[in-house]
């Protein structure tokens, strides 16, 4: 197998493995979605594959989990997070990964809660209604903070994905990107 194929296969296995976490019981919103987008943007040499592989993995897991009315917002957030990763993680460091993970958590929260509010009959279609929706999103389900869980999940899965691949690169030099 060629080095590029080995890297692609290893990256794809890491992405698919992280995606499987969505299928086991977990805290609400503690998922690898943003980490998958950031990891794909930063680590795949063929950038379009860095979007396609995690996106296909998410679609496959969503077919098992089930789709809901706000899926468009989830996938839009995923795409914007991927673009953020393309820009901010051209040279990934632990600090950059942490900061971009935090930013992507806020982005996901703002986009998905906006989608819940927009056109809702539960929240008034006013600025005050939107702020009420955001406040409700902070502590929604059994006093569990969807935002905090999302933030912790993004940081955890980013650390696992980037950290695992870094350790693999130290052990197997074929996984290191070609010099440009």
Instruction: Report how far residue 91's alpha carbon sits from residue 171's, in angstroms, rounded to the nearest whole number.
Output: 20
**Which letter does DSSP use for residue 119 in this model?**
T
Q: What is the pLDDT of residue 144?
A: 62
Instruction: Report how far residue 67's alpha carbon sits from residue 105's, in angstroms, rounded to the nearest whole number.
Output: 21
Q: What is the pLDDT of residue 143?
A: 56
Nearest Cα to 78, choosing from 43, 41, 119? 41
Nearest Cα to 13, choosing from 71, 53, 67, 70? 53
DSSP secondary structure of 47-94: HHHHHHHHHHHHHHHHHHH---TTHHHHHHHHHHHHHHHHHHTSS--H
* Residue 47, number of CB atoms within 10 A of its CB: 14
Q: What is the pLDDT of residue 142?
A: 54
| Per-10-residue mean pLDDT, the chain, length 180 | 87 86 79 91 92 88 84 92 95 96 93 92 95 83 70 93 95 80
Q: What is the pLDDT of residue 141?
A: 52
**Which letter does DSSP use for residue 23 in this model?**
G
Instruction: Report how far residue 82's alpha carbon sits from residue 144's, in angstroms, rounded to the nearest whole number.
Output: 27
pTM given for the model: 0.87
Instruction: Report how far residue 35's alpha carbon sits from residue 157's, in angstroms, rounded to the nearest whole number.
Output: 6
């Amino acid at each position: 197998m060629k080095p590029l194929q080995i890297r692609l296969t290893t990256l794809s296995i890491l992405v698919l493995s992280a995606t499987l976490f969505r299928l086991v019981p977990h805290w609400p919103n503690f998922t690898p979605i943003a980490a998958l987008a950031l990891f794909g943007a930063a680590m795949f040499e063929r950038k379009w594959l860095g979007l396609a592989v995690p996106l296909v993995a998410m679609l496959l897991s969503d077919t098992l989990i089930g789709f809901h009315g706000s899926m468009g917002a989830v996938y839009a957030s995923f795409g914007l997070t991927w673009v953020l990763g393309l820009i901010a993680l051209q040279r990934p460091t632990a600090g950059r990964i942490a900061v971009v993970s935090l930013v992507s958590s806020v982005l996901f929260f703002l986009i998905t809660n906006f989608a819940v509010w927009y056109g809702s009959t539960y929240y008034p279609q006013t600025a005050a209604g939107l702020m009420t929706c955001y406040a409700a999103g902070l502590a929604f389900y059994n006093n569990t903070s969807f935002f905090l869980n999302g933030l912790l999940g993004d940081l955890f899965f980013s650390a696992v994905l980037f950290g695992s691949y870094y350790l693999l690169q130290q052990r197997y030099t074929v996984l290191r990107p070609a010099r440009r």
